[in-house]
Every structure is written in structure tokens, then in C-alpha cells.
Amino acid sequence: MSTILIAGTSRGIGLGLVSEYLERGWQVIATVRSEPPPDLRALERTGRLKIERLEMTDRGQIASLAQRLAGTQLDILFVNAGILLARNDPIAQVSDEDFARILVTNALSPLRVVEALAPHVAPAGTIVVMTSGLGSVALNTSGGTEAYRASKAALNTLARSYAARDPKRTVVAMGPGWVKTDMGGPGAVLDVATSVRGIADTLAKAAGKGGSHFLKYNGETVPW
């Protein structure tokens, strides 16, 4: 049975990914940073879901999760968690606190999780970080959502740097599309089920390729 660890599964796309991989017959380790919500708890009835605690910005919690994974081999490590701050502020109006918080949460912490948990990923396994099309430097012709864009561009750069040091594993920066969640809002174009189905299909095709890839949920390659 294949095993995936998904970080950030209390709601939104992360919760949808847990459900999708359980439906596909996988063993799922799902992390939350506070009390697991009923929708996630309900999925424990499958007998293939293990819920773990992880506040991604807490290095001690990352280290203890790595210890608790002793003896577990992951086929996919998927760091999904992320935040959106200062959505409408041009960059000069973003406070130091918000800029630091979004960079630490969206870029530094995911790679700390990757570095700490990579020893538990199968030698030809896949490491995924949830980025955004807004993280593409090449596609940024409109500006806007600037602190968030910068954090996802930093995440992409750090993921590529990691991949250069770990070329056998496949490293994917995944763009989920614009999805109806607390972050995406009700006006988004995709429902969670469509996004996560596409993400799982895309990761199945990328498995074993090695190197770094910036992919969208529908399998398209995104320019870095």
C-alpha cells in the first residue's frame, strides 16, 4: 500500500487531498496544528488515516514528527499548508511583521519540513510543496497580492535548490488552480474535489521522473 503524508489538512485543499488519497486506497498521514475537525476525524473510519500534530513554523514540532515517523516510508511527502496575508497591499505598504510571517510560513517552514522528513521518503519518492501560479516570476505581468507572490516565488526557489541536492527524488511545486476555500473565496473557479483529483492524477504521472517540476493541477507545466 502506498503512503502519503500531507501537512495542513484541517480544511480546504489539504482536507480534500486526504479524502482523495483515501479513496484511491492509500495510507494517509494527515497533519493538523490544532484539534482535528470532525470532517477529518470522520475519515478515520477507513482505518488508513493517521492524524498527527504539526505547527509548521515550530522547529521542535517538526523534529518530533520526524522522530515519530521512524520505520515509516513515504511515497509522497506533500506540504500543503500556507497563508495569505496583506492581499491588497502594494509591497511598500506591507508591514515587516506580515512580510516576515508570510515568508516564514509559506517558504522557510515548508522546506524545513521537507529537509526533516526527506529521510522518510522512498529513494525514488515524490516531495511536493503547494505553490501557486502567483509564484511564477515568468507569468507575473500584473502585480498584485505581492507579499504572497513573493513568498510562493521564494518557496519555488527553495524547492528547486533542495531538488538540486536530491536529484533522485521527484520534487514538484504544485499549483492547485483557483479553488473555492477559505483562502480562494467563493468566487474561485474550481471546487476542491476537481482540484485534488487533478493533483493526484498529475502526481501519479510525475512519479519516478526525478528533478524539479512546476506543475498545475491539470498536468500543465508552469514557467518558473
Name residues contacting ligand NDP, limited to 19-48 (CB under 6 A).
33-34
| DSSP-based three-state secondary structure for 12 | helix
Residues 6+ apart with CB under 8 A from 172: 126, 127, 128, 129, 203, 206, 212, 213, 214, 215
Most distant CA pair in the chain: distance in Å? 50
Residues 6+ apart with CB under 8 A from 188: 178, 179, 180, 181
Q: Does 11 bind ligand NDP (CB under 6 A)?
A: yes
Q: At what angle do helices 109-117 and 59-68 cross, to 10 degrees?
A: 30
Return the residue of 182, 187, 221, 223 that touches ligand NDP, per CB under 6 A. Answer: 182
Question: Closer CB to ligand NDP, residue 3 or residue 31?
Answer: 31
Smallest distance, ligand NDP to C-beta of residue 199, A? 10
CA 171 from centre of chain: 11
Name residues contacting ligand NDP, limited to 78-137 (CB under 6 A).
80-83, 105, 130, 132
Return the residue of 4, 5, 6, 12 that touches ligand NDP, per CB under 6 A. Answer: 12
Contacts 24+ apart (CB under 8 A), 197-200: 197/20, 199/17, 199/20, 199/174, 200/17, 200/20, 200/21, 200/24
Which range of residues in 52-60, 64-72, 88-96, 158-166 is near ligand NDP by CB under 6 A?
A: 52-60
3-state helix, strand, coil in the chain (%, to 5): 45, 20, 35
Smallest distance, ligand NDP to C-beta of residue 132, A? 4
Q: Does 154 bind ligand NDP (CB under 6 A)?
A: no
Which range of residues in 53-61, 62-70, 92-100, 112-120 is near ligand NDP by CB under 6 A?
A: 53-61
Site for ligand NDP (CB under 6 A): how many residues? 27
Question: Closer CB to ligand NDP, residue 150 or residue 210?
Answer: 150
Give the type of residue at 141: T
Q: Does 56 bind ligand NDP (CB under 6 A)?
A: yes
Question: Closer CB to ligand NDP, residue 101 or residue 209?
Answer: 101
Summarize as ranges the residues that interact with ligand NDP (CB under 6 A). 8, 10-14, 33-34, 54-57, 80-83, 105, 130, 132, 176, 178-179, 181-184, 188
